Homo-oligomer: A and B are copies of this chain.
Amino acid sequence: MAAAIAYAERTAGQTGQSPAVGCVIVKHGKVIGRGHTQPGGRPHAEAAALGMAGEAAAGADIYVTLEPCAHDSERGPACAATVTAARPARVIIACEDPDPRTAGKGIAMLKAAGIEVQCGLMETAARASMAGFFARQTLARPFVTVKLATSLDGRIALPNGESKWITSAAARAHCHLQRARHDMILVGAGTVRADNPALTVRLPGLESRSPARVMLGSGGAPEGWQALASPTDIGELPGNMLFVEGGAETAASFIRADLADRLLLYRAPIILGAGKACLGDIGLHDLMTAHDRWRLVDTRMLAKDRTEIYERAIAPDQ
């Protein structure tokens, strides 16, 4: 299942509103098929893996990160039917599909065909790999990552506006890798007007993974940008993974609206003192309510900088 999740993550940020699923087929201790959701959402992972395995899938074990879908679509048949037709011995599933068109029906179809089904293996890791899809299904919006790159004292620029560079090349490369894992990248209108940033993925081999650009704020968006009037309108955006890169007021507006699911912090070992703060007003009125909202899920050093990933510790209002 770990291999299936790793395989699914190759396609993160590429599958639109579909989940990024991974599938590995094992027979007699050997991998005979593997697949992940293809860019745009089709073909599904199971179809790709079964296509590789061919006839050998009969009697094999299929590991898949999400319950096979139970609904036919104009873009392809239901995976549960495709899997059943391949006559595997077992299907091991990480998590049930929250999509009401499937939600347990895929598992029921497999079981009705006499296939042994296990569900729940590495569920937490698999859900994390499909965070955008789960946000879309349960919250009707993309999963939102807010990135902040600061000095030790929480600054993002000198009083004169100088901000290149606070973090190291290693931290900036890590950030570009995160961009590649998102469908969409958003900055405020002020940043667009000041810099008209490319926001591309500048990593060898990943240039094609640059996310679609979204501008938050009023006024027309330039060529190549989609405009978004308010953070609360993010449900309208096409993808499932939204990367919010700044500036301070834009980042604060997502936190204020309780629409930040993950904080990605980069912190350089420098002190700036006076300068531009990393965040504007988030509408906090007392310290008690600031606590227990974020939990650290990962941290590591990137050259001299530390990166920290926090995720919400309190479920958002639905």
**Per-residue contact bits, chain A 248-282, to B (CB 8 Å; 1 contact, 0 not):** 00001001100000010100111111110111111
Is B273 a contact partner of A158 (Cβ separation < 8 A)? no
Is B252 a contact partner of A273 (Cβ separation < 8 A)? yes
Q: Say how many copies of this protein the assembly contains.
A: 2
Q: Which residues of B contact A278 (CB under 8 A)?
A: 153-154
Binds B, one of A10-18, A19-27, A292-300: A292-300
Q: CB < 8 Å: which of B150, B153, B274, B285 contacts A148?
A: B153
- The CA-CA distance from A165 to B286 in the complex, in Å, is 10
Asked whether any CB of chain B lies closer than 8 Å to the CB of A315, the reply is no
Interface residues on A, range: 35 or more
Known: A269-B310, A295-B269. A162 touches B252 (CB 8 A): no
Known: A158-B284, A287-B163, A287-B166. A153 touches B277 (CB 8 A): yes
**Per-residue contact bits, chain A 142-158, to B (CB 8 Å; 1 contact, 0 not):** 00000010111111001
Is A263 a contact partner of B152 (Cβ separation < 8 A)? yes
Q: Which residues of B contact A304 (CB under 8 A)?
A: 296
Asked whether any CB of chain B lies closer than 8 Å to the CB of A30, the reply is no
Q: Which residues of B contact A252 (CB under 8 A)?
A: 273
Q: Which residues of B contact A28 (CB under 8 A)?
A: none
